[in-house]
Amino acid sequence: MPDTTAPMPPTERIPFEQLRATLARIFERHGTSAEVAAVLADNCAAAERDGAHSHGVFRIPGYLSTLASGWVDGRAVPQVQDLAPGAIAVDARNGFAQPAYAAARELLIAKARANGIALLAIRDSHHFAALWPDVEPLAEQGLVALALVNSMACVVPHGGQQALFGTNPIAFAAPCADGPPLVFDLATSSMAHGDVQLAARAGRLLPEHCGVDAGGQPTRDARAVLDGGALLPFGGAAGGHKGSALSMMVELLAAALTGGNFSFGFDWSGHPGAQTPRTGELIIAIDPGKTSGQAFAQRCSALVQAMADAGQTRRPGQQRQHQRADSLAHGVPLARDAWRELQRLAGHADN
């Protein structure tokens, strides 16, 4: 008999399309347009499908409380501006970042192919999701892509005492011969904010060099980080200045360059329940065919092989690929209670 150490909550396997449709229905019932609902549902269902639970259905309550607070415009129609042969701006008009991106993605791809490189600068946008879904589709079309988004002040600059930067992730994707794109998505903070909350609930100490308390002193107490404290940039004792510099770069590229708010530059105190940062996002797409012909995807594949030969047993993004294949074959695993709650939110009274 299997050795069971703790009872597992009962789970169900939900077909991906059913999960996506349910999420779209939830968004639309809670204040978004049908167009916005479709984009957000696609993003959120994809994260759950790939096992990126912190950005999957776990986010739904935050989306809904934010929509209810009036902080974000779930019906915003993004305004695309074709600025130059290699540059596009999108004013998200206080809406979500993903619909703003969707409105300009085909133009970005066309510009990257024509010019070799192009950028998409999104401003006045709310990004509350994983960042890798913003770059992976570009790599699936043969482009190299980089995305940067700033968020909300919860990270202390290196050597400082007060939170200023967001968790400020950087995502990268590259096409790879003989396999899916090579993708990573990393916060420039020591930890994701959600992981601090989980540690606080479980009473677990944080690793060293992750956070400070309200007085700016180093702490491993997750509650102290949450109660007026802050996270540190990633990199630890010797490399924190590097994580901090990268986080600063994200502020400059995602906010200053786009015209969006800095992570410390918005005031949501008048909107209790608001959880989504109102900032900006930068996406850069490069056509490797312009500089290195068809060889790029082969060389990407060769690097992956060399990394495996050097003993790196798991390449970036590989775990997501495995979970994705499993979810598409057998359905997306969801705790039964969570699935019931989603159906309730979607107004499916017969469940």
Binding positions for its own copies, 190-209, rule CB under 8 A: 190-191, 207-209
CA distance 28 to 25: 5
Binding positions for its own copies, 138-157, rule CB under 8 A: 144, 156-157
Binding positions for its own copies, 10-69, rule CB under 8 A: none
User: Of the listed pieces 18-26, 267-275, 310-318, 340-348, which binds its own copies according to CB under 8 A?
Assistant: 310-318
Closer residue to its own copies in complex, CB, 30/105: 105
Which of 19, 38, 104, 119 binds its own copies (CB under 8 A)? It is 119
CB atoms inside a 10 Å sphere around CB 114:
12
347 contacts its own copies (rule: CB under 8 A): no
CA distance 210 to 196: 10
Closer residue to its own copies in complex, CB, 99/240: 240
Which of 220, 223, 242, 271 binds its own copies (CB under 8 A)? It is 242
Cross-strand pairs, 84 = 87
For residues 259 to 298, the per-residue mask of contacts with its own copies, x marking binding by CB under 8 A and - elsewhere, is x--x-x-------------------x-xxx-xxx--xx--
Which of 13, 61, 75, 114 binds its own copies (CB under 8 A)? It is 114
Binding positions for its own copies, 313-342, rule CB under 8 A: 313-314, 316
243 contacts its own copies (rule: CB under 8 A): yes
76 contacts its own copies (rule: CB under 8 A): no
The verdict on whether 195 is a catalytic residue reads: yes
Q: Read out DSSP for 104-163?
A: HHHHHHHHHHHHSEEEEEEEEEE--S-SHHHHHHHHHTT-EEEEEE---S-BPPTT-SS-
**Residue 69, φ and ψ in degrees, nearest 5:** -75, -15
Binding positions for its own copies, 171-190, rule CB under 8 A: 172, 174, 182, 184, 186, 190
CB of 314 to its own copies, least distance (A): 7
Residue 344 amino acid letter: R
Residue 69 amino acid letter: S
Q: Which residues have a Cβ under 8 Å from the Cβ of 150 and sit 6 or more positions away?
A: 165, 166, 168, 250, 251, 254, 255, 260, 262, 263, 277, 279, 280
The verdict on whether 178 is a catalytic residue reads: no
Residues making up the chain, counted from first to last: 351
Among all residues, which ones are annotated catalytic? Answer: 54-55, 195
